[in-house]
Chain A
Amino acid sequence: MNAPAQEGHLVPCSVYVWVWAALLCLTAVTVSAKYADLQHLAIFAALLIATVKAGLVVLYFMHVRFEKPIFAVMILVLLATYGIYIGLTFVDYANR
């Protein structure tokens, strides 16, 4: 219950700016991927780019990279759980 001491930024502001720039670039890549003729790979490309972007946000903006490993483990458990939810649902569609 003791308030943590003010430690200032854990990371320099420039890192946030670089991450922000990377997110903007990846958004541009998403848009340009729409015009590339990727056929049925398009959905996987869009999902891949979105995953990388979400990873950057979680690691840097949400500070998971600088926290104890327990938080990364928790997030991985959540991702695995949602993966199982989606997986079990689509097993139904694949076998109906």
Chain B
Amino acid sequence: MDAAAGAAAPNYLRAGKGLASWLTTTDHKRIGILYLIAILVFFLFAVCLGLMIRLELFSPGEQFVGNQGYNRILTLHGITMIFLFIIPSVPAVFGNFFLPIQIGANDVSFPRLNLASWYFYIGGGLFALGSVILGGVDTGWTFYIPYSADTADNVYLPILAAFILGWSSILTGLNFIVTVHRLRVPSMPWFRMPLFVWALYATSWIQILATPVVGITLLLILLERFLGIGIFDPAKEGDPVLYQHLFWIYSHPAVYIMVLPAMGIVSEIVPVFCRKTIFGYKFIAISSLAIAGIGSLVWGHHMFTSGMADLERIVFSLLTFLVAIPSGVKVFNWLATMYKGSIRLATPFLYALAFIFLFSVGGFTGLLQGALSTDIHIHDTSFIVAHFHYTMFGGGGVMFFGALHYWFPKMFGRTYCESVARWAFALFFVGFNCLYFPLFLAGLAGMPRRYADYLPEYLVYHRISSIGSWILVAGIVLMLANLLRALFKGERAGRDPWGGATLEWTVPSPPPTHQFAAPPVVTRGPYEYARERASG
């Protein structure tokens, strides 16, 4: 690939000075950085809440927050982690930064709308934090009816927060779809696009299709609560199962909003660090679309015990098993790419390996819940908590950090200390499994989720889990400290420190505001290292 980058132009970090230049920027890279800062702040806030949950569960009996306080912390942890961290994390930060560069464009199609989506995000975040100031909400992040229509807490604030954040998500998705269609360089046909772009494209369709459903549903709760219109509440001739249908029509595909971009990053990292063309490029690309399509039709598996019709339960069980197929296609293709590759165990690759392991554990335990009979046993136990943390945090969360390590030299023009990054990864991985794996066992033994107290026989699981949370947090702190140090004192990074073949590695690190003085000409696929091999 050839790219004519404006090497003499100042990089995007130095393109304007002062806070105002950042808050009014329409540069996709700067907006990506704005998202990165905001998302990390919300993430650390939610980590603190998660630590409080684990401290409360360190011993049986009431410790320091009480039942009501526990419910409120749990709710805010869920809302912040899901709506403010994992859903926007990869698309809003790395999608904004790298999607235009990877397709040879200088920006997204609607730069102002892009900035507006960040302001929507911040607005939604402030609403969520506002609910804390007003005492918190105890409904859980799912806002299940009829409780959310009856609770004395200020449920309207987090509901409005989720509604506003939905707008941010829709605008980002819309922007990406139009950008991929309209701004791709002519020399890059669909099947020469990087797989990260494919993943973002599939994700964007879910964002614009499913998000409006939950937005309207949440507004219906407010209508029911404040105007007394009977929609979901059986006392008002409504139907609570209808709420669950509408909520999960969005919230299950949202799982794929969180995981698909992470899979796209794995598809970027694996070939680079194995020095091999990716195995089954087209299958990986199409499996992203298949996951988006089938994944949109499996929401009913959250409702197997909610009184849904038997026929419907069978249909949703079948569809749930089907969605495992494209996920399996990706995993096998990554492993086939590694086979006989010149593997370099650098930190980004370690995160990609962790993703494959953790997401596979999460995926296989998901199949247990897709089976109707076993689901009845493990429904609403801590098995579910372990499962979704393995898929969400082990999937989207892990690859957020993997991407941060992979693209850090490009984004900031500096490299981090590799050995510290590996130690941080080791702590992260050990802590993660200590924290969540015991919850599988506790759930199988009958430990219900969302309880602040438990019987003494569950003590050992909770103890290991709480100690795991400390190890995990130590890993996160070490990782962020290492990156923060690199930001100011790291060695200067070259244009292509990893030897990548996609377009972002052809522009300077950090890139100038207009990264391409002329549209680059793409003459080969994104993972072809033949030239390098031929030259030695």
Contact = CB atoms under 8 A, between A and B. Distances in A.
**What's the dominant secondary structure at chain B's contact region?**
helix
Interface residues on A, range: 10 to 19
A91 B106 contact: no
Contacts of A94: 309
B18 interface: no
B243 to A, nearest CB: 11
Contact of B312 (A1, A81, A84, A91): A91
B309 A91 contact: yes
B312 A85 contact: no
Most A-side CB within 10 Å, residue of B246, B297, B309, B312: B312
Nearest to A70: B181
Interface string A80-96: 01001100110111111
B441 interface: no
A92 B309 contact: yes
B312 A92 contact: yes
A96 B308 contact: yes
Interface residues on B, range: 20 to 34
Contact of B315 (A1, A91, A96): A91
B343 interface: no
Contact of A91 (B209, B242, B311): B311
B249 interface: yes
B58 to A, nearest CB: 41
B183 A85 contact: no
B209 A81 contact: yes
B105 interface: yes
A29 interface: no
Interface in B187-219: 209, 213
Contact of A85 (B107, B249, B315): B249
Given A1-B183, A85-B249, A92 B308 contact: yes
Interface string B80-120: 00000000000000000000000001110000000000000
Interface in A1-30: 1
B241 interface: yes
B415 interface: no
A81 B296 CA distance: 9
Nearest to B181: A70
Contacts of A88: 297, 300, 312, 315
B495 interface: no
A76 interface: no
A89 B315 contact: no
A1 to B, nearest CB: 6
B532 interface: no
Interface string B224-252: 00000000000000000110011001000
Given A92-B300, A96-B308, 7 more contacts: A1-B106, A81-B209, A91-B311, A92-B308, A92-B309, A95-B311, A96-B307
16 contacts: A1-B107, A78-B209, A81-B209, A85-B213, A88-B300, A88-B312, A89-B242, A91-B309, A91-B311, A91-B312, A91-B315, A92-B241, A92-B245, A92-B300, A95-B309, A96-B309
